[in-house]
Amino acid sequence: MILQTEYQERREQFMAKIGNGTAILRSAPLAVMHNDVEYNFRQESDFFYLTGFNEPEAVAVLAPHHSEHRFVLFVQPKEREKEVWTGYRTGVEAAKEKFGADEAYPITELNEKLPQYLEKADRIYFHLGRDRDFNAVILDHWQQLMATYSKRGTGPMAIESTHPILHAMRLVKSPTELAMMRQAVAISVDAHNYAREFAKPGRYEYEVQAELEHIFRQRGALGPAYPSIVASGANSCILHYVENNRQMQEGDLLLIDAGCSYGYYNADITRTFPLSGKFTPEQKIIYDIVLKAQLAAIAQVQPGNPYNLFHEAAVRVLVEGLMDLGLLAGDIEEIIKEEKYKPFYMHRTGHWLGLDVHDAGFYKHGENWQVLQPGHVVTVEPGLYIGSDVQPLEGQPAIDDRWRGIGIRIEDDVLLTVEGHEVLTAGVPK
Ligand code: GLY
Ligand code: MN
Ligand code: MN
């Protein structure tokens, strides 16, 4: 549980960086509706990170230069009739008490009240989002303030994205955030370990999915962090296979990519194992290459290393392995540089992990990769996928049928520490 004091500290840290600017953050809109049925609401992560407020149709304004109201919330007012249908609302008064806002207003008053928080700001911090209508609301305010600048002598001269400041903060996880992530990991580890025992030839992939997700929810997670992938046989070569409707067969490999979301913090784990408990010789050869690549990559997850090193380490081991098997041929440096391994390894080796599964944070600044530092969390997830119908690139060797239909990925969540790293998901064997 993350206390209000921590959200307040985050806001102070953020406001110290925006100087005389005013930041506007918007919640996720109403829950997605499909034909009058409401699907689960999921808060927008930046908004949540700074407020802890978990309702739709809200806007947070941070105005560090304002004399009285440095943190303002616009929220849906309490309205008994609406709440009967769509659930509890905090309401305007409690938004101040419970969420520490200096002032709160009904969201319907946004247009009326917003200018007073913008007119003394030198810039607006706002990340243009997918909702063009809301973008237009903010741009209209900006335009009006610009039109009256000459008489007032103050006003925002620029709009700047919140991301560089906010996402740099989100990259480094606090102790309480890490506690949430460890809980998401603990539940997901138990689910994987149970699923491995449960999965058997004759069962359907969805039965395994149901067991995983049963454990997620039973243990207090919100649910899957992303659509669970339970991919047997050649389905393991489809990266985002989510149909999960095949009956598993003797001799299959099973790839499970599943993790839960706990209080919006996520785990992301992949394991691939033989259903019968024993690899075929071909499966074992490919598995060992992926495992070796993953261990080589994890070894590069060290504070001070540029982000890309662990990906490069994985690629090199995968390419060496594919060359040994005669699936790639030529000069290794050229194969790597020209990405000739892509028919078998088409994704990157990891991503930031946190409030979002593919978490916020820049990977690169200009030509420079982000440097890893304590508190970052990354996934390390190399794989090899030799699809049933994959074709070699021009000039590359033919693909022997014995390798076809084998897809393997191994994915761990790794925390950067002062000394090096900690594999958070080590509780699932590989
Ligand atoms: N399961 C999504 C990912 O591994 O990135
Ligand atoms: Mn994954
Ligand atoms: Mn992942």
Q: What is the DSSP string of 386-410?
A: E-TT--PPTTSPPPPGGGTTEEEE-
- Measured in Å, residue 402 CA sits from the centre of ligand 3 at 28
Minimum CA distance residue for ligand 1 atom 3: 268
Q: What pLDDT is stored for residue 68 in this prediction?
A: 96
What is residue 355's three-state secondary structure?
Answer: coil
Give the phi and the psi of residue 99 in degrees, each rounded to 5: -115, 5
- Measured in Å, residue 227 CA sits from the centre of ligand 2 at 10
What is the spatial distance between Cα 294 and Cα 290, in angstroms, rounded to a whole number? Answer: 6
Closest ligand 1 atom to 411 CA: 4
Cβ atoms of 232 and 243 closer than 8 Å? no
Q: What pLDDT is stored for residue 41 in this prediction?
A: 86
- Taking alpha carbons only, the member of 291, 284, 271 closest to residue 197 is 271
Closest ligand 1 atom to 229 CA: 1
Q: What pLDDT is stored for residue 86 in this prediction?
A: 80
Strand partners, 385: 407
- Asked if the model's pLDDT at residue 106 lies above 80, the reply is yes
Closest ligand 1 atom to 225 CA: 1
Question: Each residue of 239-298: pLDDT tens digit?
Answer: 999 999 999 999 999 999 999 999 999 999 999 999 999 999 999 999 999 999 999 999
Q: Looking at residue 310, what DSSP letter applies?
A: H
Please tell me the number of the ligand nearest to residue 242's CA. Answer: 1
- Taking alpha carbons only, the member of 256, 257, 407, 282 closest to residue 344 is 407
- Measured in Å, residue 69 CA sits from the centre of ligand 3 at 40
**Torsional class of 241: left (φ above 0), alpha (ψ -120 to 50), beta (otherwise):** beta
Longest dimension (CA), the chain: 79
- Measured in Å, residue 268 CA sits from the centre of ligand 1 at 6
Q: Looking at residue 149, what DSSP letter applies?
A: H
Q: What pLDDT is stored for residue 84 in this prediction?
A: 86
- Asked if the model's pLDDT at residue 145 lies above 90, the reply is yes
Minimum CA distance residue for ligand 1 atom 5: 358
Cβ atoms of 73 and 95 closer than 8 Å? yes
Give the phi and the psi of residue 283 in degrees, each rounded to 5: -60, -40
Closest ligand 1 atom to 226 CA: 1
What is the spatial distance between Cα 274 and Cα 223, in angstroms, rounded to a whole number? Answer: 26
Please tell me the number of the ligand nearest to residue 350's CA. Answer: 3
Ligand 1 pocket test, pick from 379, 412, 425 with the greatest ligand atom count within 8 Å of Cβ, gives 379
Question: Each residue of 362-399: pLDDT tens digit?
Answer: 999 999 999 999 999 999 999 999 999 999 999 999 99
What is residue 13's three-state secondary structure?
Answer: helix
What is the spatial distance between Cα 123 and Cα 47, in angstroms, rounded to a whole number? Answer: 19
How distant is the alpha carbon of residue 369 from its chain centre? 19
- Measured in Å, residue 41 CA sits from the centre of ligand 3 at 22
Ligand 1 pocket test, pick from 188, 228, 242, 257 with the greatest ligand atom count within 8 Å of Cβ, gives 257
Q: What pLDDT is stored for residue 40 in this prediction?
A: 79
Closest ligand 1 atom to 351 CA: 5
- Taking alpha carbons only, the member of 309, 302, 294 closest to residue 368 is 309
Please tell me the number of the ligand nearest to residue 228's CA. Answer: 1
Q: What pLDDT is stored for residue 29 in this prediction?
A: 84
Minimum CA distance residue for ligand 1 atom 4: 268
User: Does domain 4-169 correspond to CATH entry 3.40.350.10?
Assistant: yes
Identical fold, 4-169 and 172-423: no
* Annotated domain spans of the chain: 4-169, 172-423
Known catalytic residues are 36, 240, 257, 268, 347, 351, 358, 381, 385, 409, 411
> What residues contact residue 274 under an 8 Å CB cut-off, 6+ apart?
251, 252, 253, 254, 280, 283
What is the spatial distance between Cα 337 and Cα 104, in angstroms, rounded to a whole number? Answer: 55
Average pLDDT value over all residues in the chain = 96
- Measured in Å, residue 210 CA sits from the centre of ligand 1 at 19
Question: Each residue of 39-83: pLDDT tens digit?
Answer: 778 999 999 999 999 999 999 999 999 999 999 999 999 988 888
- Taking alpha carbons only, the member of 193, 191, 352 closest to residue 265 is 352
Q: What pLDDT is stored for residue 245 in this prediction?
A: 97
Q: What is the DSSP string of 74-115?
A: EEPPP-HHHHHHH----HHHHHHHHH--SEEEEGGGHHHHTH
Ligand 1 pocket (Cβ < 6 Å) reads: 226, 257, 268, 351, 357, 381, 411
Tokens of 420: 């090096």
According to CATH, what is the number of the domain 172-423? 3.90.230.10
Ligand 1 pocket test, pick from 209, 230, 270 with the greatest ligand atom count within 8 Å of Cβ, gives 270
